[in-house]
Structure 1
C-alpha cells in the first residue's frame, strides 16, 4: 500500500464520518451500534466494509430526508438488519 493509497483512504474515511455527523442523532446512535456489530462479525475485506457502511449511510440519509425514524428504516431488530446485510459476504 502506497502513501497515496493511505491518504486517499483517510480522505474517504473523513468524508464518511462527516456524512454520519450530518444525520439526525437517533440515526447516528443506531449507525454506531451497527458499525460496532459489523466490526465484530462483519466482512473480512475492507472494500466490503466501505461499500456496506456507505450503503447504510445512503439508506439512513434517505430515511431521514423522508422524515422516518431510524427504526422504521432498519426494523426493530437491528442485529437482524445487520445479519441480512452481510449474509452473502465472507465473515
Structure 2
C-alpha cells in the first residue's frame, strides 16, 4: 500500500463521513451506533467493502421519504446489523477457528 493509496482512502472516508453528517440527527446517531457495533464484530472486509456506503444510501433514501430511522431498521440496532453481516466471515469467526483446533496440534 503506497502513500497515494492511503491519501485516497482518507479522501474517500472524509467524503463518506460528510454524507453521514448531512443526514438528520436521529439518523446520524443510529449510524454511529451501527458503525461502532460493526467495527467491533463486523465482517473482515468492512473497511474496504460496500457495507457502510450502502447503509448511508439506505438512510439517505429513508430520510428523503420522511421516514424515521427506527421505521427503517426497527428497535434493535444490533439485530439489524447482525442481519446485514449474516454469512460474512467476521474477525470473531476467524479467532474461533484458530482456537478450535484439536488439543496438542497448535504450533505443528
TM range (shorter): over 0.9
1:11-26 mapped onto 2 (5 Å cutoff): 11-26=11-26
Q: Deviations 1:41-70 (Å, cap 9, x if unpaired)?
A: 00112323xx11001000000000000000
| Bigger CA radius of gyration | 2
Matched residues, number: 89
The structure with more helix, counted as a fraction of residues: 1
Instruction: In structure 1, list runs of 5 or more residues that go unmatched.
Output: none
Alignment of 1:2-81 (within 5 A): 2-45=2-45, 46-48=47-49, 51-81=50-80
Superposition misfits of 4+ residues, deviation over 6 angstroms: none
Q: Larger RCO: Structure 1 or Structure 2 (Cα < 8 Å, ≥ 6 residues apart)? A: 1
